[in-house]
Structure 1
Amino acid sequence: MAEIKIPYPQNVLAVVASLRACMAAVVWLDGEAGGRYSIIAADPQEQLVTKHSGTWLHRAQTRTFLGDGDPLALLQTRLDATAPPALTHSSSLPFHGGAIGYFGYELGRRLQGQMPSLGDGPDMAVGLYHWAFVIDHQQQQAWLVGDVPEAAIACLREPLSTNAASWQPNGPVSVSPEFIGYARAFNRVMEYLYAGDCYQINLSRRFTAPFRGDPLGVYADFRQRAGGPFAAYFELPGGPILSGSPERFLQLRDGVVETRPIKGTRARLADPRADAAVAQALVNSAKDQAENTMIVDLLRNDLGRGCVTGSVEVPYLHQLESFATVHHLVSVVTGELSPHMKATDLLRDTLPGGSITGAPKWRAMEIIDELEGGPRGVYCGAMGYIGWDGSMDTNIAIRTLTAHAGYLDYRAGGGIVVDSRCHDEFAETESKAAAFRDLIEHTGNQSCIESA
């Protein structure tokens, strides 16, 4: 497949702004903050959207109902049908075309034959892209790969946009539940834990705020506050999605699977010495280590379904990783995918990620449904790509906003175990929402996207 080396862009936001001015369904896997690669694509050949009654195929001006069967099986069918005849490529670039999109939290329930989500947004929205703009931030190199349309080349030949992606908050942050409601749900979780239903249950809160203007401008400001190595900006059916995720869900490359669960959080402090002490306290916390280990065991089991027997390992356990507003404990679980398995099979076995459900997973999800009172949607699902070459890389969609009907929607949660304390868990959700609150409360009237 074609690879055209082009100048490294000093301002990736400007590239995205230019492409979306002349092309639809722009997606941006944003690895600039701590990752290595960014992947940008637009104008997919077709899109698959799963919502309520089933999955629809969107192509040009037509829409075809594909049925109410397994959405990932339908996606695999379309990947197989649209793959170019020659998939060989000489470079180590991560993506040369394929599917980019999101797999919502409730898609996991649908895959288990449970009731489809009744939320406003899709359970799955994926575009099939024949080309991409791939940027290597470590080597400061960039390429156009695949069957690049003339429209994309024309966009990139023009001076990059200097227009402002203007936006502004249009009211304060609203939260549900506030402390009293959260405490009530927390106490119910503790009852389930003591009854032996689960070992850990993830409970989240919803933060919303009205806004006016361009979601790309919102993302420009949000990524400065919460940009993680697995960040993304998608304009797909269901509305724009703005993610600053720090967590990898699944990577599949050359037959090797990796997942990097996060469990264990502390808010960062302004004073460097105090901040270092907080980080060390997290590293030494037996409670947080135990929570992390529970999820590692869950993910070992999930990966074991599709990996070669005996290949699942934990090369790193309870490592400290620090981000703009929080410290996290991160572990790494790897395995060798069985030869008969594909990326979509791996997703089916593991979605949603265990780090944002609890353990055992399916009972924890039932309790989450009961206590949160509505679908999570994109939140705690996965965003990323599945290449025609069989590769995959996805995040856990945390630190993630959706923009819809003049509102920004954000969620933050945490795992609760028997020795959790309500005030501490509530404070953890506030720490995880700090970047969103700051975005709304301390943002000026516009974000300028300067020329590269």
Structure 2
Amino acid sequence: MHQTVSLEELNYRPDSCELFEALRDIPGAALLDSSYPLSQAGRYDILCAQPVPAPANPPPGADAPAWHDYFSELGRFHRERYGKVQPAAEDIPFCGGLLGVLGYDSGNALHKVQATSAPTTHSGINLSAYDWAVIQDHLLQRAVLVAQPQVSAAVRRDIRLRLQAVPREVNTGFRLRQRFRSNLTEAEYRHAFERIQAYIQAGDCYQVNLAQRFSAGFEGDPWCAYRVLRSIAAAPFSAFLQHGTDSALLCLSPERFLRLHGHRVQTSPIKGTRPRHRDAAADQLAADALRASHKDRAENLMIVDLLRNDLGRNCIPGSIHVDALFEVQSFPTVHHLVSNITGELRADRGAYDLLRDSFPGGSITGAPKRRAMEIIAELEPHAREAYCGSVVYVSADGRMDSNIAIRSLLCHEGEIRCWGGGGIVADSQWRHEYQETFDKVGRFLAALESMS
């Protein structure tokens, strides 16, 4: 039986953060944020709240078959809850469905990698089922409330009233209790780098992503921190997911992981980074140097080949194409080298098969993927949690989009954690790689420290 969803027009606001203020106190509030108008790269924002739980993660220590079964269970849950939902409209990307975070560390179990660092409450997968959402379309300058049939008229009315009476921002403040500290000293980073170089020279791998984690105690409202970071590093795949009064994921990612629309699959890996400069001539030189860099192009190509292989597990043979290779895309704090790969999903496969067989994204592991993940588990002293995982939605009508959760900060129990990493290949130099981790998140750290 086909189900139809309801659409109700709302007053459009250029900045969706103003609307999210009205929904933040509802449990499970989530904002998928294209950072418009600060970033012109995105089109849609998705605001939702009041979810019901999706299937729970397998228990700690569960093996790969248990995790494969979990993704099958997600598909079954999705079909039973939403049935055969008709697309609300071509320009409505999400009409309710599953939304949340796939923690990087859950990929270890999928790939039979023995984790050496202790998992945390944010290491697994945290997906919830949402039955309504507010969609902001910045291209059409349109806002709509889209709701599944089970959403009552009273709930829809409450949402409308909240959004009509958007409160002024209540700034409860945010401050660090001390400056950020890394979990790796410079000497420890160099030692890890040299271990990776030894593995590369031995033929174990071609590329490994190595990250360091910065942490500090904090007090106040993570939303205030997100608004500050958004103002300096707006990115089209940003998100703010609230997990409690002082627990939240702040994500300012420029990178798409997987998109599924109909049967068309798209992934857009980033490999290659240069910092932005205030001086226009210096900034152009940095972009040109990135475009011409043989090292960065080789690094990017390794990941393109890896992702073609990942997509091949679920796409029609011969349908996978590299539509763009080594494009320079510029963001507020960095230039990136980006490629784009597409394919056609097989008729007997769906979004959860695609996620299971491609996660985690190859751009943040290295190549070959499983061996790179083993080396990451050996050398990084703490779990990655949400970092390098994915913020994802799978709409009730089957449409999916997701990011690579880089440029991400996790607030939990009075501590804020932020990661910076980069891919290491045979001709990498440790000082340059070490500096690149700061190029990516240094402005984040400085901005939050200045709030203290």
Name the structure 1 match of 2:365.
357
Structure 1 pair 107/70, CA: closer, same or farther in 2 (3 Å)? farther
Q: 2:27 aligns with which of 7, 21, 24?
A: 24
1:449 aligned partner: none
Q: 2:224 aligns with which of 217, 221, 227?
A: 217
- Whole-Å Cα distance in 2 between the matches of residues 415 and 195 of structure 1? 18
Give the CA deviation at 1:11.
Answer: 3.4
Does the CA-based 8 Å contact 2:225-2:448 persist in structure 1?
Answer: no
Deviation at 1:156, TM superposition (A): 1.7
- Pairing 1:315-394 to 2, within 5 Å after superposition: 315-394=323-402
CA RMSD of aligned residues (A): 1.9
Residue 244 (structure 1) aligned with residue 284 (structure 2): no
Are 1:163 and 2:159 an aligned pair?
A: no
Shift of 1:365: 0.4
1:328 Cα deviation from its structure 2 partner: 0.5
**What is the match of residue 448 of structure 1?**
none
Structure 1, residues 122-171: CA drift from partner, whole Å, max 9, x if none? Answer: 41001100110000112211100013524323322323333224212221
Aligned AA (2:131): H
Deviates more, 1:136-145 or 1:396-405: 136-145
Letter in 2 for 1:282: L
Q: Distance in 1 between matches of 2:377 and 2:252?
A: 25
SS of structure 1 residue aligned to 2:22: helix
In the alignment, residue 70 of structure 1 is paired with which amino acid? D
- Residue 196 of structure 2 aligns to a residue whose secondary structure is helix
Is 1:11 the counterpart of 2:15 in the alignment? yes
Report whether the alignment pairs 1:281 with 2:282.
no
Q: For residues 309-320 of structure 1, what are the structure 2 equivalents within 5 Å?
A: 309-320=317-328
Distance 1:15 1:49, change over 3 A: farther
Whether contact under 8 Å (1:317, 1:332) holds in the other structure is yes
* Structure-1-length-normalised TM-score: 0.91
Aligned length: 432
How far residue 323 of structure 1 moved from its aligned partner, in angstroms, is 1.0
List per-residue Cα deviations over 1:309-330 (Å, max 9, x = no partner).
0000001000001111111100
Tell me the CA shift for residue 51 of structure 1: 6.5
1:208 alignment partner in structure 2: 215
Which residue type is aligned with residue 236 of structure 2? P
Change (3 A) 1:88 1:412: closer
What is the identity, as a one-letter code, of the residue corresponding to 1:107?
S
Whether the 8 Å contact between 1:125 and 1:236 is mirrored in structure 2 is: no
Tell me what 2:407 maps to: 399
- The residue that corresponds to 2:447 in the other structure is 439
- 1:119 paired with 2:131, answer no
Q: What SS does the aligned partner of 1:35 have?
A: coil
Provide the identity percentage: 41
Return the offset for 1:52.
Answer: 4.4
1:232-257 alpha-carbon deviations (Å, 9 max, x no partner): 01113793100000000000001100
Matching residue of 2:46:
39
User: For 1:243-282, what aligned pairs fall within 5 Å after superposition?
Assistant: 243-282=251-290
* CA-to-aligned-CA distance 1:10-59 (integer Å, 9 cap, x gap): 432121121122x110011001232110000000133444264389xxxx
SS at the partner of 2:57?
strand
The one of 420, 425, 428 equivalent to 2:433 is 425
Q: Please give the alpha-carbon distance, in whole angstroms, between the structure 1 residues aligned to 2:314 and 2:67.
A: 24
- Could you tell me how far 1:86 is from its partner in structure 2? 4.3
1:120 deviation in Å?
1.6
The change in CA–CA distance for 1:86 and 1:429 in structure 2 (over 3 A counts) is closer
Could you list the structure 1 runs, at least 4 aligned residues long, displaced by more than 6 angstroms after superposition.
none
Paired with 1:86 and 1:355, the residues of 2 have a C-alpha distance of: 33
Per-residue CA distance 1:265-303 (angstroms, 9 max, x = gap): 111122110111011000000110000000000000000
1:89-135 deviations in Å (ceiling 9; x for gaps): 34421111100101111222222455588422241001100110000
Q: Does 1:2 align with 2:6?
A: yes
Cα distance in 2, alignment partners of residues 222 and 322 from structure 1: 17
What CA distance in whole angstroms lies between the structure 2 residues aligned with 1:68 and 1:296? 26
- Closer/same/farther in 2, CA of residues 279 and 90 from structure 1, 3 Å limit: closer
- Structure 1 unmatched ranges of 5 or more: 56-66, 446-452
Q: Structure 2 counterpart of 1:80, which letter?
A: R
Contact 2:85 2:397 (8 Å CA) reproduced: no
Distance 1:68 1:288, change over 3 A: closer
Shift of 1:70: 3.0
After TM superposition, the structure 1 = structure 2 runs for residues 102-113 of structure 1, keeping only pairs within 5 Å, are 102-113=101-112
**TM-score, with structure 2 as normaliser:** 0.91
